[in-house]
Amino acid sequence: MIVSFQDFIRHRPAWSTLMLWYLRAMALLLLGGGVIHWARIVGFVPWRGQWFWDMPVEWQAATIFFGVLDLVAAIGLWLAVSWGTVMWLFRALCQVTMHTAFADIYGRRPYEISFYLATILIYLVLLYLMERENRAQ
């Protein structure tokens, strides 16, 4: 029975299992994001008070781009295949680039940038721990 944090660390699942849980959690977030993008595209919900057809072309392109990429990356992450991770990393870095290099068009969002960078950092730490555990076996 786990009653303390040290017990949890001693009896934790393998790092590969924790990595799978993490990838699937990211997949659920991307699935939700993709559904929200498509709800905007088909006209169920507005974004910041604007319907899709009233948005500037740059925003329409970004909405379609992330609507497709989110769902593709979500499927790949849920299946834990390498291309899913690549698509997710590409998506996260596109979002960071969009809100830094093109902040005059898409706006600056420091919290969103921090979130994406933190999720990538967590992924890299889990990847390192998983590889270290696999080499030790």
Q: What is the 3-state secondary structure (H, E, C) of 24-74?
A: HHHHHHHHHHHHHHHHHHHCCCCECCECHHHCCHHHHHHHHHHHHHHHHHH
> Who's near 3: CB < 8 A, 6+ residues apart?
none
pLDDT one-digit tens code per residue, 39-98: 999 999 998 889 999 999 999 999 999 999 999 999 999 999 999 999 999 999 999 999
pLDDT one-digit tens code per residue, 90-108: 999 999 999 999 999 999 9
Question: Which residue ranges make up each domain of the chain?
Answer: 27-136
C-alpha closest to that of 95 among 21, 25, 40, 30: 30
3-state secondary structure of 109: coil
pLDDT at 8: 72
pLDDT at 2: 60
pTM of the model: 0.88
Q: Residue 12 — pLDDT band, cuts 50, 70, 90? A: confident
